[in-house]
């Protein structure tokens, strides 16, 4: 990205004479590239994961078990974003935490690259832990590059950062997916490790351009708190080790002994966190009202992500077994479908940004509740659309690739009415006391949605069956209609937030 760095033609030492990244602080280039490579490794591995789980040359599991593992893995990544933010705030600070996270992710991918099934789940766990540590903290560091929330460059900086995410997500299935499917699964996972290694190296080399605030530990643990935290961690780790040792040595261990507790935690923890904030007596009446409104958005987001994230599992497994993965006679790897969403995001995000501004100038911009309702109806519509290729496959034929592309297109449009809007409304509606924690709470909606999918799969539900697909589609549309019907009430609860 050296060619993207410009130097103002003014005397050194004067304001604005430092090198910039498209007019933004030089540190943004470091974080852009770190996130791009991290997303390259993450989405590459994610594109391969469900296919490897069901492949005869992989773990050769059933579609239901593969979907359960995939969903539990995703829910764990987002669940760990909350303690990941806490760890940076109380122990290492964001900058060191992100470096540690990169190392753990790289180690996780290398573990996945080992040609043994025994180490596979350990590798997944390491990638989930590393992603949880990195996810919230690297975004925080982007914010540190600017002079507070009123810096006019701030929104543009996050937009560039978002492009980095999608560039990595777009390229990963094309490179890692192709190698993994056509050459060797474990070589694909090794390429993901290489991607994270490149990101980590340039992060360490470019660290001098980052804000000094990123090295600070905002609220460090006292010696007593550290000792108490270590005691609790050791106690719970000991309980887990003893429990699984008993289950294992007694001959009763199955994969569900691992999946079910994580899935249940993925459902219970979001509920408990939201309930704890809502019951906090120190929140004033306005903050309580905003939290009541936020619960509507949280539940809506959980339903949305429950269906949306099946684009990498249910739809991918269907494509692997029941679709013609070719265009004009040219065949392509199944994992390439995972590049459709990021390229559509890059194409459509500027259109949506322009549309909201244009409607706002005319006083016609939809409210947050209407945007969420639209997103839910669209994600439901995508699964109603899924019924067509399912019917084609049930008739003994292969469904055309464009059916799947159409489904991903509808889901992406829905994502653009929910995801950026949800991030924005989370920051606006957060009670002052929980301002730094609410982004982690937003990620818990993804956890709840994916945990629901995981629980259905663990129960043996085949998510590629017409009935369950139609039921999920109807649930999403019904939730969207409910939010639209109660939009005025939700708007009242939101108070001064627009």
163-181 pLDDT tens trace: 888 999 999 999 999 999 9
**DSSP calls for 260-284:** HHHHHHHHHHHHHHHHHHHH-TTS-
Instruction: State how far the Cα of 258 lies from the Cα of 247, in Å rounded to an integer.
Output: 11
The residues facing 24 across adjacent strands are 21
Helix axes of 63-79 and 314-322: crossing angle, nearest 10 degrees: 150
Give the tens place of pLDDT for each residue, 295-353: 999 999 999 999 999 999 999 999 999 999 998 888 999 999 999 999 999 999 888 88
Contact present, 101 and 84 (Cβ < 8 Å): yes
- The reported pTM is 0.88
- Classify 330 as helix, strand or coil: strand
Instruction: State how far the Cα of 405 lies from the Cα of 344, in Å rounded to an integer.
Output: 10
**Using 50, 70 and 90 to split pLDDT, how confident is the model at 188?**
very high
The residues facing 25 across adjacent strands are 20
Give the tens place of pLDDT for each residue, 141-158: 888 888 866 677 776 787
Supply the pLDDT for residue 477.
Answer: 96
Give the tens place of pLDDT for each residue, 67-126: 999 999 999 999 998 888 888 888 888 999 999 999 999 999 999 999 887 789 899 999
Residue 4 has pLDDT above 60, yes or no: no
Distance of CA 46 to the CA centre of its chain: 11
> Taking the CB of residue 375, how many other CB atoms lie within 10 A of it?
28
Closest CA to 315 of 333, 331, 332, 335: 335
Reading phi first (left if > 0) and then psi (alpha if -120 to 50, else beta), residue 331 is in beta
Instruction: State how far the Cα of 44 lies from the Cα of 339, in Å rounded to an integer.
Output: 10
Q: How far apart are the first and last CA of the chain?
A: 38
Residue 222 phi/psi, 5° resolution? -75, 170
Write the DSSP symbol of residue 462: -
């Amino acid at each position: 990205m050296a060619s993207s760095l410009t130097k103002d033609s003014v005397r050194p030492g004067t304001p604005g004479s430092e090198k910039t990244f498209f007019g933004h602080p030089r540190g943004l280039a470091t974080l852009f590239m770190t996130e791009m490579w991290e997303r390259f490794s993450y989405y590459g591995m994610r594109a391969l994961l469900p296919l490897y789980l069901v492949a005869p040359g992989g773990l050769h599991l059933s579609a239901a078990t593969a979907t359960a593992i995939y969903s539990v893995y995703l829910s764990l990544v987002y669940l760990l974003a909350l303690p990941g933010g806490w760890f940076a705030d109380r122990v290492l600070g964001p900058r060191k935490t992100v470096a540690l996270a990169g190392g753990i992710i790289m180690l996780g991918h290398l573990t996945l690259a080992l040609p043994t099934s025994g180490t596979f789940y350990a590798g997944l766990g390491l990638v989930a832990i590393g992603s949880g540590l990195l996810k919230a903290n690297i975004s925080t560091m982007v914010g540190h590059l600017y002079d507070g929330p009123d810096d006019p460059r701030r929104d543009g900086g996050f937009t560039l950062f978002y492009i980095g995410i999608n560039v990595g997500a777009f390229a990963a299935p094309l490179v890692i997916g192709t190698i993994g499917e056509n050459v060797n699964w474990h070589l694909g996972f090794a390429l993901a490790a290489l991607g994270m290694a490149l990101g980590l190296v340039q992060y360490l080399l470019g660290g001098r351009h980052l804000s000094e605030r990123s090295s600070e530990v905002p609220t460090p643990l006292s010696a007593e708190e550290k000792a108490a935290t270590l005691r609790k961690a050791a106690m719970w780790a000991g309980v887990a080790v003893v429990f699984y040792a008993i289950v294992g040595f007694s001959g009763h261990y199955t994969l569900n002994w691992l999946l079910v507790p994580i899935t249940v935690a993925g459902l219970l923890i979001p509920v408990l966190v939201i309930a704890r904030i809502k019951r906090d007596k120190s929140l004033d009446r306005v903050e309580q009202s905003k939290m009541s409104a936020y619960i509507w958005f949280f539940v809506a987001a959980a339903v949305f992500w429950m269906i949306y994230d099946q684009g990498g599992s249910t739809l991918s497994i269907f494509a692997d077994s029941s679709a013609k993965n070719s265009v004009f006679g040219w065949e392509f790897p199944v994992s390439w479908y995972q590049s459709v969403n990021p390229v559509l995001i890059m194409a459509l995000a500027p259109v949506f940004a322009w549309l909201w501004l244009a409607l706002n100038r005319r006083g016609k911009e939809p409210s947050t509740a209407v945007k969420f309702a639209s997103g839910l109806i669209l994600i439901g519509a995508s699964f109603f659309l899924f019924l067509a290729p399912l019917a084609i496959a049930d008739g003994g034929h292969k469904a055309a690739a464009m059916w799947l592309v159409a489904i991903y297109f509808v889901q992406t449009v829905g994502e653009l009415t929910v995801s950026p809007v949800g991030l924005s409304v989370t920051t606006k509606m957060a009670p002052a006391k929980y301002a730094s924690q609410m982004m982690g709470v937003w990620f818990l909606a993804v956890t709840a949605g994916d945990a629901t999918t995981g629980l259905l799969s663990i129960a043996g539900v085949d998510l590629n069956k017409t009935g369950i697909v139609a039921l999920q589609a109807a649930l999403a549309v019904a939730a969207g209609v409910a939010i639209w019907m109660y939009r005025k009430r939700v708007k009242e609860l939101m108070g001064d937030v627009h």
